[in-house]
Amino acid sequence: MNKIIMLFRLSNWITQKQYEQLSIRPNEVELAHLNYLPKAHKPGTPLRPIVFELKHPAIKISKFLDELLRPLFDKISSNTTVTSRTEVIKQLHEWSKHNICQETLPGTMNVMDLYTMMPQIEGILSIRKIRFVVQNNYFSYNGKYDHQVRGGAMDIVKQIKNSDGLYLRYTDDICITINWPIQHVYKQIDRWNKFDQNIK
């Protein structure tokens, strides 16, 4: 880990102060501890695995990346993240004024054990796709094509947003309304369930 942090410093990706904060001292680290918390609200009271990593070698770099990326994630996801049930009801009410129709289907989803089952390869590939999008942003101006080398595409999230449906995330639960025929919804749910055998 220290070799990677040193590489970051030598490449001027981090400051000297950040290098000192992120460097690992062998006497301060230990392997993570696995514990379980019962999910009393679920049938059979399944156990949720909790990995305590307070002194894990990667904890400093993990916190650093979270502090770096959290504001960006919060900004991007602000339109789809809700913090209370009241907010869900308000957004559903506003959406329904202009979008509800005979085919509208409401639904909720919960990914079982997402954080402990997230496929690592797919996670890394997703990051590579983000990098590709950021590094391959071209635009036209005055009949000339240019490559954007700083920043990223503006309003890309708004362009992707589907006006036919509503997607909201509350903690680890998802609430959707969609104007699809029911058979399309079942096909999509089937695709999601086949994405990874450990995620349902």
Looking at the 3D structure of the chain, how many domains does it have?
A: 1
The answer to whether residue 102 is domain-embedded is: no
The answer to whether residue 196 is domain-embedded is: no
Query: What per-residue confidence (pLDDT) applies to 12?
Result: 93
Mean local confidence (pLDDT), 183-191: 88
The answer to whether residue 64 is domain-embedded is: yes
Write out the residue range of the structural domain in which residue 61 sits.
1-78
**What count of other Cβ atoms lies within 10 Å of the Cβ of residue 66?**
10
30 pLDDT above the threshold of 50: yes
188 pLDDT above the threshold of 90: no
Query: What per-residue confidence (pLDDT) applies to 153?
Result: 63
The answer to whether residue 165 is domain-embedded is: no
Q: Which residue has the tokens 């329904």?
A: 96
> pLDDT digit string (tens) for 57-80?
888 988 998 998 889 888 888 888
The answer to whether residue 51 is domain-embedded is: yes
The answer to whether residue 112 is domain-embedded is: no
pTM of structure:
0.63
Which of 81-90, 104-113, 124-133 is predicted with the least confidence, judged by mean pLDDT? Answer: 104-113
Q: Model confidence at 16, in pLDDT bands (50, 70, 90)?
A: very high
Query: What per-residue confidence (pLDDT) applies to 160?
Result: 42
Average pLDDT, the chain: 83
Query: What per-residue confidence (pLDDT) applies to 155?
Result: 55
Query: What per-residue confidence (pLDDT) applies to 80?
Result: 87
The answer to whether residue 40 is domain-embedded is: yes
The answer to whether residue 2 is domain-embedded is: yes
